[in-house]
């Protein structure tokens, strides 16, 4: 579990707001040193890493997790060292006041979102959600100093370094979807080339959080025989419906959906049971809300399945997962990669 945590920390330390994924590829590749036979970046910013089976002409298994994270784009530099930003992805604005921010200009600088102290609210109700346009980032710089470092269009992200809690829980920013990326990389690291029935194509895809879902470009290029799309899903918690969530510490889930291959999904559940690995199901009737819907339509069509890690506090800078669920997803993916294509 310690190696999983170490890899996950390395991945979550990386900043890759949607649209800037290419800037993070060298850091990811460094974390994966010695695992893959080939790494490359495609034209739209997907990072593709290949581990080949020792079997000649092996079929291709695509394992997808999106690399990008939610964040902000600088839209205006204001007097007093303030920045106005717009959202990139589904930002939970309610938690932003007084949160710490890293701004990625010519150099990284830190800031904090403004907030009004309750003492100065003058009796006005503090209920309701502020507009992002009203929440400026205070950098502590003067405008002239700031303009030398930051430009309109630069990205920013809430700070949230990984820390460990009890019972193998960890908290960090960008666990959506670095937790799944961690599982895929770990599975690839542990894969024995003599046992692999597939060439593994690991895709850390771009622009998922902003809806562009550029994994479809990677799928077109790779032309996989099978693709497994991994993403986080809502963990069970007070106030959430059981049928819309999955449990932490019970392993990943397999989506039951009309937009994925039902036979493949069933087979993955059978493989998990065969290897005595925990695996859940969740029903996503028509859409999984992941890269799946793009990948399955590539070329003549691709057999796809969706697997998810339960995540608490999604789209915040304090997302929470359990390391055991990441390890179990890694083990199931490896078991799938050891299964002949004809048996899937």
Which pLDDT does position 127 carry in this prediction?
A: 60
CATH code of residue 238:
3.40.630.10
Q: What are phi and psi of 253, to 5 degrees?
A: -115, 160
- Domains contained in the chain, number: 2
Residue 313 and residue 197 share a domain? yes
84: pLDDT strictly greater than 80: yes
242: pLDDT strictly greater than 90: no
Check residue 51 and give left, alpha or beta (phi > 0: left; psi -120 to 50: alpha). Answer: beta
Domain span at residue 117 reads 71-158
More confidently predicted of 134 and 85: 85
C-alpha distances (whole Å) from 71 to each of 165, 275, 341 are: 25, 39, 39
Label the pairing between strands 226-234 and 60-66. parallel
64 assigned to some structural domain: yes
189: pLDDT strictly greater than 60: yes
Which pLDDT does position 10 carry in this prediction?
A: 98
Q: Which of 158, 182, 208 is the last residue of a domain?
A: 158
Residue 242 and residue 332 share a domain? yes
Dump strand ranges (E) for 89-210. Answer: 100-104, 108-113, 137-138, 155-158, 163-164, 169-172, 199-205
Average pLDDT, the chain: 94
Residue 149 and residue 242 share a domain? no
Q: Which of 123, 158, 193 is the last residue of a domain?
A: 158
Residue 220 and residue 114 share a domain? no
23: pLDDT strictly greater than 60: yes
163 assigned to some structural domain: no
213: pLDDT strictly greater than 70: yes
Residue 100 and residue 227 share a domain? no
CATH code of residue 118:
2.40.30.40
168 assigned to some structural domain: no
Which pLDDT does position 284 carry in this prediction?
A: 87
Label the pairing between strands 38-41 and 47-51. antiparallel
Residue 256 and residue 198 share a domain? yes
Q: Mapped to the 3 state alphabet, what secondary structure does 183-243 carry?
A: HHHHHHHHCCCCCCCCEEEEEEECCCCCCCCCHHHHHHHHCCCEEEEEEEEEECCCCCCHH
Residue 186 and residue 301 share a domain? yes
pLDDT tens string 258-284: 889 999 999 999 999 999 999 999 998
Tell me if residue 133 falls in helix, strand or coil.
helix
Tell me what percent of the residues of the chain surpass a pLDDT of 70.
96
Residue 256 and residue 244 share a domain? yes
Average pLDDT for 24-30 = 98
Label the pairing between strands 169-172 and 319-322. antiparallel
pLDDT tens string 136-185: 999 999 999 999 999 999 999 999 999 999 999 999 999 999 999 999 99
Q: For the whole model, what pTM was predicted?
A: 0.94
166 assigned to some structural domain: no
């Amino acid at each position: 579990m310690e190696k999983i945590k170490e890899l996950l920390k390395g991945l979550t330390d990386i900043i890759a707001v949607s649209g800037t994924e290419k800037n993070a590829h060298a850091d990811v590749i460094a974390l994966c040193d010695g695992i893959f036979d080939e790494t490359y970046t495609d034209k739209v910013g997907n990072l593709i890493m290949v581990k080949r089976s020792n079997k000649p002409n092996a079929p291709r298994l695509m394992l997808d997790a999106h690399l990008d994270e939610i964040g902000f784009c600088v839209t205006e530099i204001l007097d007093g060292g303030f920045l106005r930003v717009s959202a990139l992805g589904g930002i939970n604005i309610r938690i932003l006041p007084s949160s710490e921010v890293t701004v990625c200009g010519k150099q990284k600088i830190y800031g904090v979102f403004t907030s009004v102290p309750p003492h100065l609210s003058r009796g006005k109700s503090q209920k309701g959600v502020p507009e992002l346009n009203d929440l400026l980032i205070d950098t502590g710089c003067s405008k002239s100093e700031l303009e030398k470092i930051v430009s309109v269009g630069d990205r920013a992200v809430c700070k949230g370094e990984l820390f460990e809690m009890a019972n193998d829980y960890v908290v960090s920013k960008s666990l959506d979807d670095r937790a799944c990326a961690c599982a895929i990389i770990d599975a690839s690291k542990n894969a024995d080339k003599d046992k692999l029935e597939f060439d593994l194509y690991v895709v850390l895809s771009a622009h998922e959080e902003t809806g562009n879902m550029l994994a479809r470009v990677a799928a077109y290029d790779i032309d996989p025989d099978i693709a497994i799309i991994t993403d986080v899903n809502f963990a069970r918690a007070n106030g959430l419906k059981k049928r819309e969530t999955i449990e932490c510490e019970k392993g990943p889930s397999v989506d039951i959906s009309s937009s994925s291959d039902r036979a493949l999904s069933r087979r993955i559940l059978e493989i998990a049971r065969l290897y005595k690995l925990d695996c859940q199901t969740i029903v996503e009737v028509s859409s999984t809300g992941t890269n799946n819907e793009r990948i399955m339509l590539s070329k003549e069509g691709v057999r796809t399945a969706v697997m998810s890690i339960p995540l608490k506090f999604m789209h915040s800078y304090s997302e929470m997962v359990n390391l055991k669920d990441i390890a179990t997803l890694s083990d199931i993916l490896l078991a799938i990669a050891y299964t002949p294509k004809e048996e899937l």
